[in-house]
Amino acid sequence: MTNPVLAFVFPGQGSQQIGMLAEAAEAFPEISATFSQASSVLGYDLWDLCQNGAQEDINLTERTQPLLLTASVALYRAWQAQGGVTPARMAGHSLGEWSALVCAGVLQFEDAVRLVRERGRLMQEAVPAGEGAMAAVIGLDDQAVEDACASAAEGGVVTAVNYNSPGQVVIAGGAAAVARAIDACKAAGAKRALPLPVSAPFHTELMRPAAEKLAPQIEATVFRAPEIPVIHNVHAKPEADPSAIKALMVEQIYSPVRWTACVQAMAEAGTAQLVECGPGKVLAGLAKRIDRSLTAHNIETPAQMSEAVKSTAQ
C-alpha cells in the first residue's frame, strides 16, 4: 500500500559513525543480510568495519559510499519487513541518490555497491589530497554565496555545491580559492563559514574527470524505470527513462546538489511526511528548515522504526 503524502529521503556522506545500526541489527535480520550481501561484493567484512573499525577508515570515500548505501538499503528492507507503507516519492542527498534508486527498483543492490565503490575511488583520485576543500556557509542567501565565490575564484575553482536549506550552503573547489571564498562570505555577513573535514571538492567541475571515467560503467549496468518516482539532485525533478537516469547520475558527480529544491518539489507534489532512511538525522533537520509543515521521522533504531511505521500507516 502506498501512502500518497509520504516520501523517503536517503543521506549522503557525513552520516557514517562507528557502531551505527548496532541496535537495529539485533532487531531486524535484514540488516545483517544486507551487509553480508555487500561484503561479498566488496571482498571485505563491511559490518565488522563499521562496528569495530576506526572512524578514519569509514571516512575514506571509497568505503563511506558503499557503507552508507548498504545502511540505507538495509533499513528500507527492514521497513518493508515491518509492514511499513510504500512512499509515494523518494530523494537522496548526493551519494544517497544511489540508495533511492536501489529502493525504487532502478538497479540491483549489488550493482550499486560496485558502482559507488568505484564512484568514491574516482572522486577521491580526481583531486590530490590537500588540493581541494569544502566549507559550510551559514546565514547567507544563495545569491550572496554565489557572488562571494565568483569574486574569490581569481582563476581558480570555487562554487556553491550543496544547497542544503535556506541559509545553509556548502561551497567547494581548490583549497586556496575556498579559503578566499570563506573570507568573502564572512565579509558579506555570513554567521559562520567553516572548512569541512573533507579532502575532495565534490560536485564541482574538478570532479568531471571522475564522472567521465565512471560513465562507461554506469552505461554498462542495467537500469529500469523506477517503481517509485525519485527526485534528482541535478534538476529537482523525477525521471522515468532509464537512459536519462544514467546521464543524470554521471552529471550529478560534478553538479550542485539542489537539496532545497528537491524537498520543495516533494512538498509541492503533496508530501507531508518524510522518513530519513539511513544513519543520523541531518536530512530530517534540513527538512524542517526548508518547509516547517513537513513531519520528519527517523528509523535508525527499533523504537524509531516502530513509531514511524505507526505514524505513516494509512
Q: Work out the angle at residue 117's Cα, subtended by the Cα atoms of residues 58 and 223, and round it to the nearest 5 degrees.
A: 140
Rounded to two decimals, the pTM is 0.96
Compute the distance between CA of residue 127 and CA of residue 200 in angstroms, rounded to an integer.
6
Superfamily designation of domain 132-199: Malonyl-CoA ACP transacylase, ACP-binding (3.30.70.250)
Compute the distance between CA of residue 65 and CA of residue 96 in angstroms, rounded to an integer.
9
Residues serving a catalytic function are: 94, 203
Q: CATH number for the 2-126+206-312 domain, one of 2.60.40.60, 3.40.366.10, 3.20.20.450, 3.40.50.300?
A: 3.40.366.10
Domain residue ranges in the chain: 2-126+206-312, 132-199
Per-residue CA distances from 65 to 69, 286, 304 (Å): 6, 21, 24
- For residue 244, what is its C-alpha cell? 536519462
What DSSP designation does 207 have? Answer: G
Same topology, domains 2-126+206-312 and 132-199? Answer is no
Q: Determine the pLDDT at residue 199.
A: 67
Q: Where are the beta strands (DSSP E) in the chain?
A: 2-10, 86-92, 132-138, 158-165, 168-174, 192-195, 230-231, 273-276, 295-298
Walk along the chain (314 residues) and give the pLDDT tens digit of each residue: 899 999 999 999 888 999 999 999 999 999 999 999 999 999 999 999 999 999 989 988 899 999 999 999 999 999 999 999 999 999 999 999 999 999 999 999 999 999 999 999 999 899 887 899 999 999 999 999 999 999 999 999 999 999 999 999 999 999 999 999 999 999 999 999 999 877 689 999 999 999 999 999 999 999 999 999 999 999 999 999 999 999 999 999 999 999 999 999 999 999 999 999 999 999 999 999 999 999 999 999 999 999 999 999 96
Compute the distance between CA of residue 290 and CA of residue 164 in angstroms, rounded to an integer.
9
Q: Given phi > 0 = left and psi -120 to 50 = alpha, else beta, which region is 129?
A: beta
Compute the distance between CA of residue 5 and CA of residue 26 in angstroms, rounded to an integer.
30
Q: Determine the pLDDT at residue 60.
A: 85
Compute the distance between CA of residue 60 and CA of residue 102 in angstroms, rounded to an integer.
22
Q: Determine the pLDDT at residue 198.
A: 76
From the list 162, 129, 130, the residue with the least C-alpha distance to 145 is: 162
Q: Determine the pLDDT at residue 234.
A: 98
Q: Determine the pLDDT at residue 130.
A: 83
CA 210, distance to chain mean position in Å, is 17
314, burial (CB in 10 Å: exposed 0-12, middle 13-18, buried 19+): exposed
